[in-house]
Structure 1
Amino acid sequence: MTSDTDDSSIISECLWAAADGPFFPDWEFSTLFGLSREEVRDLICVFLSLSALSALLSFIHQRANYTRHHADSSDHKS
């Protein structure tokens, strides 16, 4: 099983390869993707930023649950 970080890395690498690699001719690229190569590159940057934000929010949420759980446990010991 892959983590979200691994998935994001794979997706971004595939998009970079599509945008910068020899796989799609220039005359056909925008027809296939509905975007120019530059727009796909911009999209990758946005995707990576959103992936990083998602990871941060997930960490904060998990940390809040951990803290809340342990705070609740300490209240019962008193």
Structure 2
Amino acid sequence: MVRLSQKAQVTLFGICVAGLIFGGAGYAQAKSVEAKYEEQSKQIELYKDELNDMQCQLQEYTKYKAMYECIAVEKDQLQKEVEELQK
């Protein structure tokens, strides 16, 4: 069995403590990155839901616009018929 000097023991202990500190800091940083990723994932899901809602509204507005244009054409045709009948 090798007997380490007191200076070597203190150095080895210091290295172990430094390793634990850096390991803990790395773990904390990894947890922070993971939390940010989860938050961004939630935000992306919310944006997807909002985008789907907006697309549905846009489809509905497009449908109403097409109906309005058809009614406008029918109105013009009826107006022409009324003018012809009045002559």
| Structure 2 gap segments, 5+ residues each | 51-87
The alignment's C-alpha RMSD in Å is 1.7
In structure 2, the partner of 1:63 is 35
Could you list the runs of 4 or more consecutive aligned residues of structure 1 that deviate by over 2 angstroms after TM superposition?
Answer: none
- Greater length-normalized contact order (CA 8 Å, ≥ 6 residues apart): 1
Q: CA–CA distance in 1 between the matches of 2:16 and 2:49?
A: 50
Deviations 1:48-68 (A, max 9, x none): 100110110010011111110
How does the TM-score come out when normalised to structure 2?
0.51
When you count helix as a share of all residues, which structure comes out higher?
Answer: 2
| Structure 1 gap segments, 5+ residues each | 1-22, 28-34
Q: Which has the larger radius of gyration?
A: 2
Counterpart mapping for 1:28-67 below 5 A: 36-67=8-39
Deviation, 1:26, is 3.1
